Amino acid sequence: MTKIVSAHHGFVQSTEKRRPVYGSESLTGCARTRLWNIDGLEISLYLIAKYDNRTPMSFQLNRSETVEEAMRRIALEQLDDAVASTKRPADEQEEAVHTIRRSCKRLRGLLRLVQGSFSEYRVQNAIIRDGADLLSSARDSAVLLRTNALVMSALKDSPGEQRSAEALAAAQSYATSFEPLAAAELTAVLEIVRERLLGVRNAVPGWTLEETGFDAFRYGLEATHRRAQRAMKKAMTSLSPALFHEWRKRVKYHGHHMRLLREVWPSALSARESTADHLADLLGKMHDLHVYRTTLTLAPPAAGADVWTPALSQVAERLETGLIAQCTGSGEELFGSSADELIRGIKTRWKHAGFAQ
């Protein structure tokens, strides 16, 4: 006998055999299960080995549901994933922070897509944003360590053996300044984040949209694309790290929208999603290098090593500059032309693809 806890969201608990359920379809290929307890509700999250290249926690709109139904389903999936991660053991906290932040970004991307027809958009978006921001220091320490390793790798390829060796020692001394939050401190922060996200989760069943079908997301889709275009022009004109970071946010949201809508126009939107992911990754590395350069002046290394601070900053700046050129092609591919053609293409295919209204 299979006891279904929540088939609509892809969660099941079975007393005899484990079979995850997605809507009315059964899935096979379950690799393992892990159990969390969320306010008394036991949820078995199954890792699906293979099912038509999809998992039950699918971050996309499906033909069988209205946009409003999809919004609630996807929001619950992302929130359940994030809330469960707040209770992971101490040795998995870095991965937990990554999962929570990713889920919050996806959720905010979803809300931005329907912002034109969702009256609660600003309130719910702010709660999710502020909750995720509580984890920024935990994320930043890990990023600084990785960026420091990247700079050290670049130094190894620099001319001058003695110079590189001494600079490497200086870079290594900086690493001690980038220690992550203590486990107990991070656990306390995760508990606060958990409570905030549970508050959002409790509100999701009451979320409604004022429009249906394509009209439910047209404004959000177009507005995000246009903002990304403007952000690209400003960043490329000024070469300001802050504006490149702002552009990255818009690129990420656009990528989320392409993933959410990819069933509407699989070939074109999957390709755009891939390009957006690549561009966001490049812009993310640029931001990490900029933060690293800024941090060098605020986190002094061991005595004597500070003489190498300018050299380390120059290496980071050189890497950062090299990434700008790589962003140009992808940026033009995504945002070099008006959003009108993309909007028309999605509208036409939505109309003929049989999506629920």
Residue among 121, 258, 99 at smallest CA distance from 200: 121
Those residues whose C-beta lies under 8 Å from the C-beta of residue 226, and which sit 6 or more positions away, are: 339
Q: Name the DSSP class of 204.
A: G
Question: For 116-175, how does the pLDDT look when each residue is reduced to its tens digit (9 = 90+)?
Answer: 999 999 999 999 999 999 998 888 777 888 888 888 888 777 665 445 666 667 677 666
R_g (Cα) of the chain, nearest Å: 23
The alpha carbon dihedral of 108, 59, 73, 5 has a sign of: negative
Question: Domain map of the chain by residue range?
Answer: 1-57, 58-352
**Vertex 62, ends 58 and 64: CA angle to 5°?**
130
70-79, 89-98, 207-216: which range is least confident on average? Answer: 89-98
Examine the pLDDT at 33 and tell me if it is beyond 60: no
Examine the pLDDT at 181 and tell me if it is beyond 80: no
User: With bands split at pLDDT 50, 70 and 90, how would you rate the model's confidence at 210?
Assistant: very high
Class of domain 58-352: mainly alpha
Centre a 10 Å sphere on the Cβ of residue 295 and count the other Cβ atoms it contains. Answer: 16
Query: How many CA atoms lie less than 13 Å away from 71 in the CB half-sphere?
Result: 28
Q: Are strands 11-14 and 41-48 parallel, antiparallel or unpaired?
A: unpaired
pLDDT of 24 reads 29
Average pLDDT, the chain: 81
Examine the pLDDT at 18 and tell me if it is beyond 60: no
| Residues above pLDDT 70, as percent of the chain | 75
pTM for the whole thing? 0.80
